[in-house]
Amino acid sequence: MKRFEWVQASTTDDALGQSTRTCAELMDSNKKTSGASVVKAGGIDLLDLLKEGILSTQRVVNIRSIDDLHHISFDKKGCVIGPLLTLAEIAEHADIRKKFTALADAAEHIATPNIRNAATVGGNLLQRPRCWYFRSEEFNCLKKGGKDCPANVGENKYHAIFDNEKCSIVHPSTAAVALVALGASIELTSRKGKREVKLEEFFISPSEDVVKENRLAEGELITAITIPDNGWKSAHIKLGEKDSFDWSIGDCAVALDMEGSTCKKAVIVLGAAAPVPYRATAAENFLKGKSIDEKTAREAGKLAVQNAKPLSQNEYKVTMLEVAAMRALLKAAQS
């Protein structure tokens, strides 16, 4: 790990004054970024990147103890969460569990108790992909400014089954899958002002820009996450190789607008499936006006993966995601 300076920011203005760059910019070998600063929240992903030798920076700006970024409030419209809420705080919050079950379910099953105590929801949304070629300093893949995607012809068992032609990373954030299903937006603040972006539109596919995964701009911070309270039912199911200390290999968040036992509207989002949280729209449309039981949930699960294009080693993910979608639908409907 290369040496860096440490800056302790105690207010949002302090942090904004540091003109930080995104990790994607710092890791793009085609960009000149010497002298740049980067934000640290819980530090779980950032320190991995620094230790792996694929990110270097002159300055790390620690935002972890900024009080005005650590808050939660509820009103009739919904809930506003500060980006520094930890995953453990989200998983344990009684009102989040009651109103936004999918988010509490998702946060509860990320990584390990130790990591959930340190990792923040803002950092979770912005962590970089876990693709082993991207994470190795031995490979200069497309995301780091290289010329090809080694995963597409190499070891790809954990990679994408949708939208995988150019670069087959899967989106790493489990919280994002739940927040997209719940229709969340994020507030982005820079020295120029604030903007609000629907989380679903914040993430970008490699076909639009292969170097970055989201629309965070230079000097911007996530300063709030808003979840609308529509009274919908929701759930999240994560499947992995281990119960703890592991990433998802297939997960699904579902949000349901129900009238009695009839589904008026469903939002179904697959995780660890594509470079962005993946909306299963054919399954969503199929469920409109139907009751959700084992038969319709199974059919919806099949429709959710109907356009999958697995790579040489990840066909097993098609079945996993089909099952995750079916189970998440039943769990949400029965909650």
Ligand X SMILES: Cc1cc2nc3c(=O)[nH]c(=O)nc-3n(C[C@H](O)[C@H](O)[C@H](O)COP(=O)(O)OP(=O)(O)OC[C@H]3O[C@@H](n4cnc5c(N)ncnc54)[C@H](O)[C@@H]3O)c2cc1C
Query: Could you say which of 92, 246, 257, 299 contacts ligand X (CB under 6 A)?
Result: 246
Among 57, 214, 248, 296, binds ligand X (CB under 6 A): 248
CB of 259 to ligand X, least distance (A): 33
In the bound state with ligand X, the residue whose beta carbon lies nearer, of 178 and 292, is 178
> Taking each helix axis from N to C terminus, what angle separates 316-333 and 101-108, rounded to the nearest 10 degrees?
130
Among 7, 36, 50, 110, binds ligand X (CB under 6 A): 110
What single string gives the DSSP state of each residue in 138-165? T---GGGT-S--HHHHS--TTS-SSS-S
Per DSSP, helices labelled H in 235-315 are 281-287, 294-304
At 303, which amino acid appears?
Answer: L
Task: State which residue, 123 or 277, has the beta carbon closest to ligand X.
Answer: 123
Q: How far is the CB of 105 from ligand X (least distance, A)?
A: 12
Does 50 bind ligand X (CB under 6 A)? Our answer is: no
Pull the structure tokens for residue 20: 């930080």
Partners of 49 in the β-ladder: none
- State yes or no: residue 239 binds ligand X (CB under 6 A): no
Q: Which two tokens stand for residue 125?
A: 């949304």
41 binds ligand X (CB under 6 A): yes
Per DSSP, the three-state class of 110 is coil
Selected binder of ligand X within 43, 154, 228, 310 (CB under 6 A) = 43
Which of residues 78, 83, 275, 301 is near ligand X by CB under 6 A?
83
- The owner of tokens 């490979």 is 139
Judged by CB under 6 A, the stretch of 73-81, 120-128, 159-167, 262-270 that binds ligand X is 120-128
Sign of the CA dihedral 179, 180, 182, 185? Answer: positive
Establish if 224 lies at the interface with ligand X (CB under 6 A): no
Which of 18, 57, 101, 127 forms a contact with ligand X (CB under 6 A)? 127
221 touches ligand X (CB under 6 A):
yes
- Of the pair 115, 258, the CB lying nearest ligand X is at 115
Residues 144-203 contacting ligand X, CB under 6 A? 172-175
Exposed / middle / buried, residue 130 (Cβ in 10 Å: 0-12, 13-18, 19+): middle
Nearest distance, CB of residue 282 and ligand X, angstroms: 26
Supply the DSSP symbol for 272: S
Question: Which is nearest to 220 in space by CA: 32, 24, 28, 51?
Answer: 24
